[in-house]
């Protein structure tokens, strides 16, 4: 007896014994799991789906706000110059064009390119729906976009009354074939071709024009501008130039580096709209569902193995050892389910990415968050199910 359960004797307690005790618990957990393979497979499948759900909800939680970055991610700039009233991309407000020249005079700045935005209407010349379209005006020679299709069709953009359309523009706009004529704000334009940046939160349709066409269609002039793309000299210290620009420019404008811009747009969609709350609550619910699935599994297994647990108690194993068995069991199930769930999530992410163009990717960060979340979930469910363990009374069980 004392040989078998010596590690429970306080007199012989020590580091090595603790290790042995854990090994015994781990062995028992493994034996329980492999005892009934069908049941274990079921538990595993349930937890797998729960973790997959956590991944999907987290993916949306992170990616949906990034819909606001789709176009920015394909713009060439080191710093973005925007109005001090800037809200988000589709509501950038405007600032005097003179700020561009002022910015260009700062050491380290090589180029400042204006970008113009406008809300326009789109109608087929034969009539039909008058649709809202988001218009972007730019100087193609300044190469503001890092996109093969736009660069390739630069000459097309320069043609009079010609525009490119984002091919994520909704089907309600009709075919986006080159050569089709469209009235934009009542001005006859021709579709020159298409590109794919994604419409994100800009609206249901996006068209890109060169400045001359943009001004003709929108009846705007080159002043004020909506955004300024600042390119720095190679090797320039972004932070230093940003500080110099902030000092020099009046406070009707503000500057964003890429990181700040991402954070700003993300925060806008996460906190100002219901997007964050919806997917945030989805995330919480998915964790709770996972917890319940796992708890259900563990509690069932404890109930089923109650006689065994009671026997162990009778021969001297302490509550802690039995609890360790349950904890280890939970850990094994979760970690085993985590890997296929992560692989499944990659497949689901790829599908969503191609459907929505949202930059949904399984970053190590989100992997770590999910793993951390599910481990907490596993511990939580194990602790919940320990209540069942206390029913393991050697005197009553048989």
Partner 1 sequence: MTALTLPRRGLARLRPARVPLAWRNLVADKWRLARASAGIAFAVLLMLVQLGFEQSFFTASLAAVEQLNGDLVVQNASKYRFGTRNPFAPKDFETIKTVAGIATAAPLYADWVDFFWTSPVDNKPHLVRVFAVDPDAPAVFSIPGIADQQTRLKTDDSVLIDSESRRFLGMNRNVTEAKLNGVSVHVAGKFSLGPDFMSDGTVVMSDRTFAYFFRTTPAAMPIEAAVIRLQPNQNAAEVQKRLTAALPGTLKVFTKAELVQFESNFQAKLSSAAPIFWLGALVGFVVGTLISYQIMYTELSDRMPQYATLKGIGYENGYLAGSVLRQSLLTGIAGYVPAWLLCLAVYRVVGHIALLPLHMTWRVTLLSLALTLGMCLLAGMIALRRVIAADPAEIF
Instruction: Name the residues that contact partner 1, by CB under 8 A.
Output: 39, 42-43, 45-46, 49-50, 52-53, 56-57, 60, 85, 87, 91, 93, 119, 121, 123, 127-132, 170, 172, 204, 272-274, 277-278, 281-282, 285-286, 288-289, 292-293, 295-297, 299-300, 303-304, 356
Nearest distance, CB of residue 53 and partner 1, angstroms = 5
Q: List the one residue out of 238, 303, 325, 237 whose CA is nearest residue 28.
A: 325
Alpha-carbon gap, residue 229 to 252, rounded angstroms: 16
Q: Closer to partner 1 by CB, 241 or 378: give it.
A: 378
The strand order across the sheet containing 227-232 reads 206-210, 162-166, 187-195, 181-184, 109-124, 227-232, 79-83, 253-257
Q: Closer to partner 1 by CB, 131 or 249: give it.
A: 131
Nearest distance, CB of residue 209 and partner 1, angstroms = 19
Q: Are 82 and 245 in contact (CB under 8 A)?
A: no
Nearest distance, CB of residue 175 and partner 1, angstroms = 17
| SS3 category, 321 | helix
Alpha-carbon gap, residue 398 to 392, rounded angstroms: 10
Q: Closer to partner 1 by CB, 129 or 223: give it.
A: 129
Nearest distance, CB of residue 300 and partner 1, angstroms = 5
Alpha-carbon gap, residue 147 to 141, rounded angstroms: 14
The full length of the chain comes to: 398
| SS3 category, 186 | coil
Q: List the one residue out of 124, 100, 97, 131 whose CA is nearest residue 215.
A: 97
Q: Closer to partner 1 by CB, 47 or 115: give it.
A: 47
Nearest distance, CB of residue 170 and partner 1, angstroms = 6
Q: Closer to partner 1 by CB, 129 or 237: give it.
A: 129
Q: Closer to partner 1 by CB, 7 or 61: give it.
A: 61
Query: Burial level of 93, CB count in 10 A (0-12/13-18/19+)?
Result: middle
Alpha-carbon gap, residue 74 to 200, rounded angstroms: 13
Nearest distance, CB of residue 47 and partner 1, angstroms = 9
Q: Closer to partner 1 by CB, 106 or 227: give it.
A: 227
Q: List the one residue out of 210, 236, 187 whose CA is nearest residue 141.
A: 210
Alpha helices, DSSP H, located in 249-318: 258-267, 275-304, 306-314
Nearest distance, CB of residue 237 and partner 1, angstroms = 30
Q: Closer to partner 1 by CB, 162 or 297: give it.
A: 297
Q: Closer to partner 1 by CB, 23 or 170: give it.
A: 170
Q: Closer to partner 1 by CB, 108 or 203: give it.
A: 203
Nearest distance, CB of residue 21 and partner 1, angstroms = 30
Nearest distance, CB of residue 117 and partner 1, angstroms = 12
Alpha-carbon gap, residue 333 to 328, rounded angstroms: 9
Q: Are 232 and 97 in contact (CB under 8 A)?
A: no
| Cβ-proximal residues to 126 (8 Å cutoff; 6+ apart), any chain | none
| Cβ-proximal residues to 267 (8 Å cutoff; 6+ apart), any chain | none
Nearest distance, CB of residue 313 and partner 1, angstroms = 20
| Cβ-proximal residues to 127 (8 Å cutoff; 6+ apart), any chain | none
């Amino acid at each position: 007896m004392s040989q078998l359960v010596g590690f429970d004797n306080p007199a012989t307690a020590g580091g090595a014994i603790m290790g042995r005790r854990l090994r015994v618990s781990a062995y028992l957990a493994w034996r329980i799991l492999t005892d009934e393979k069908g049941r274990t497979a079921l538990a595993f499948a349930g937890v797998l789906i729960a973790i997959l759900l956590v991944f999907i909800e987290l993916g949306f939680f992170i990616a949906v706000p990034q819909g606001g970055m789709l176009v920015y991610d394909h713009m060439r700039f080191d710093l973005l110059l925007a109005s001090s009233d800037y809200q988000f991309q589709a509501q950038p407000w405007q600032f005097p064009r003179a700020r561009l020249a002022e910015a260009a005079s700062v050491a380290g700045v090589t180029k400042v390119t204006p970008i113009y935005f406008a809300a326009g209407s789109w109608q087929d010349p034969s009539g039909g729906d008058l649709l809202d379209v988001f218009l972007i005006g730019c100087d193609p020679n300044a190469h503001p976009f890092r996109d093969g299709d736009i660069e390739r069709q630069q000459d097309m953009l320069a043609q009079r009354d010609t525009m490119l359309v984002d091919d994520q523009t909704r089907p309600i706009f009709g075919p986006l074939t080159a050569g089709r004529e469209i009235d934009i704000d009542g001005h006859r334009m021709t579709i020159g071709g298409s590109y794919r940046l994604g419409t994100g939160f800009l609206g249901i349709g996006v068209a890109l024009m060169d400045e001359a066409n943009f001004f003709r269609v929108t009846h705007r002039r080159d002043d004020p501008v909506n955004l300024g793309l600042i390119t720095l000299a190679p090797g320039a210290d972004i932070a230093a130039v940003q500080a110099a620009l902030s000092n020099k420019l009046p406070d009707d404008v503000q500057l964003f580096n890429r990181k700040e811009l991402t954070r700003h747009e993300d925060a806008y969609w996460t906190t100002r709209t219901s997007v964050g709350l919806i997917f945030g609550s989805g995330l919480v619910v998915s964790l709770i569902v996972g917890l319940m699935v796992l708890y259900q599994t563990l509690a069932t297994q404890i109930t089923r193995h109650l006689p065994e647990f009671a026997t162990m108690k009778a021969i001297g194993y302490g509550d802690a050892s039995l609890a360790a068995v349950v904890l280890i069991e939970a850990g094994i199930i979760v970690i085993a389910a985590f890997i296929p769930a992560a692989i499944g999530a990659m497949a689901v992410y790829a599908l969503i990415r191609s459907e929505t163009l949202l930059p949904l990717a399984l970053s190590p960060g989100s992997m770590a968050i999910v793993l951390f979340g599910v481990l907490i979930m596993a511990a939580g469910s194990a602790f919940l199910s320990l209540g069942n363990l206390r029913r393991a009374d050697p005197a009553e069980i048989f």
